[in-house]
Amino acid sequence: MSRRKTERLLNLVICLLATRRPLSAEQIRQAVPGYDRESDEAFQRMFERDKNELREIGIPIDVLRDPWEDEPGYRIERQAYELPEITLEPDEAAVLGLAAQVWQRASLAEAASGALLKLRAGGVQTEQALGGALELRVDTKDPAFPALWEAVRDRKVVRFDYRGSGSENVRTRTVEPWGVVSRRGRWYLAGFDRDRQAPRAFRLSRILGEVATLRGPSVSVPEGVDLRELVGFPDEPMEERTAVLLVRGGTCEGLRQVARAVHENADGWDRVELRFGDPERLAGWLASLGADVRVAEPPDARDAVIRRLKGALA
């Protein structure tokens, strides 16, 4: 199923769940992204196919006829849609708990929110609590993650600049992506490196600048490939060090809470000592704090922040 169709079906489900009263086909056409640009005939065919597909996978769409209206209305009753109470065994609950630590919030909601906004703009009352229940997003600060995740999903070749471990040398890599894997709190891209003509893993925090998606044939993932085994090489030892930061007075309370030491200064810039291992991960956090933080030392941490900020500016 194409991404466009998947988003349209998701939007249709949310639209029919969120409304407090049945919606006519024309109201659905105006509210659901994916329908509004179609001609009358094309919309009718598409809407009928979508209703049938949703019903086939067990989503009940009720058709209600109001004697005062010319057209029938459509709605999904929440009681018929929601799952019954589920009882989990301890090991099953543990697995879900681990998954919840990875999937913190939602990017599905981004595709679906257009339907709710259009409904509210059109004067249709919606269930306010529905939006938050649908928000799922992978929690990662690596800027390259969204583009690589989409490339893996769409089977597209990617190209990016990559800084090797323990080196300041940056080289351009062209990769056939097989998957994105999390290991020990870090995210990696696993795939076939066309430059080295061999399978390789790339840590996302070392990817610099934007990830380009290349045109061409779809990527084929070899049968039986184990992404975790591919990424399971021993991490290079990363000795913990102390970063010395200058933090604007009265800001960055979260940073101060985890700092090793905080020394307040009269000049408005407090001296903060923070333990860290990976300068790239530290840079991703500090760069997000903007002008309220300056890195005094060590030099590689300061340079990593500068690279992040220059990348954002570019």
For residues 91 and 7, the model is more confident at 7
For residues 98 and 192, the model is more confident at 192
Q: What is the pLDDT of residue 224?
A: 82
Taking 50 as the threshold, does the pLDDT of residue 270 lie above it?
Answer: yes
Query: Strand 137-138 to strand 158-163: parallel, antiparallel, or no bridges (unpaired)?
Result: unpaired
Do the Cβ atoms of 35 and 114 come closer than 8 Å? no
Q: What is the pLDDT of residue 236?
A: 46
Do the Cβ atoms of 65 and 79 come closer than 8 Å? no
Q: How confident is the model at residue 84 (pLDDT cuts 50, 70, 90)?
A: low
Q: State whether residue 122 is helix, strand or coil.
A: coil
Share of the chain residues as helix, strand and coil, in percent rounded to the nearest 5: 40, 25, 35
Taking 60 as the threshold, does the pLDDT of residue 237 lie above it?
Answer: no
Q: What is the pLDDT of residue 106?
A: 43
For residues 161 and 234, the model is more confident at 161
Do the Cβ atoms of 284 and 207 come closer than 8 Å? no
CA dist., res. 180 & res. 227, Å (int): 8
Q: What is the pLDDT of residue 240?
A: 79
Proportion of the chain above pLDDT 90, given as a percent: 19
Please list, in sequence order, all residues whose beta carbon lies within 8 angstroms of the beta carbon of residue 161, skipping any fewer than 6 positions away: 170, 171, 172, 173, 207, 208, 209
Q: How confident is the model at residue 92 (pLDDT cuts 50, 70, 90)?
A: low
For residues 121 and 271, the model is more confident at 271
* Mean pLDDT, residues 213-228 taken together: 86
Structure tokens at 214: 């290349």
Structure tokens at 209: 């600048």
User: If you ran DSSP here, which 8-state letter would residue 57 be given?
Assistant: T
Residues β-bridged to residue 73: 64
The answer, yes or no, to whether the previous bond of 298 is cis (omega within 30 of 0) is: yes
Q: What is the pLDDT of residue 83?
A: 62
Nearest Cα neighbor of 158 from 198, 120, 195 is 195
For residues 258 and 108, the model is more confident at 258
Residues β-bridged to residue 159: 174, 212
Between the alpha carbon of residue 142 and those of residues 146, 265, 300, the distances in Å are 9, 33, 18
Average pLDDT, the chain: 79
Q: What is the pLDDT of residue 71?
A: 83
Nearest Cα neighbor of 111 from 128, 135, 132, 129 is 135
Weakest-pLDDT range from 25-34, 41-50, 242-251: 25-34
Q: What is the pLDDT of residue 86?
A: 64
Strand boundaries in 103-197, DSSP class E: 103-105, 137-138, 158-163, 170-183, 186-193
Q: What is the pLDDT of residue 261?
A: 92
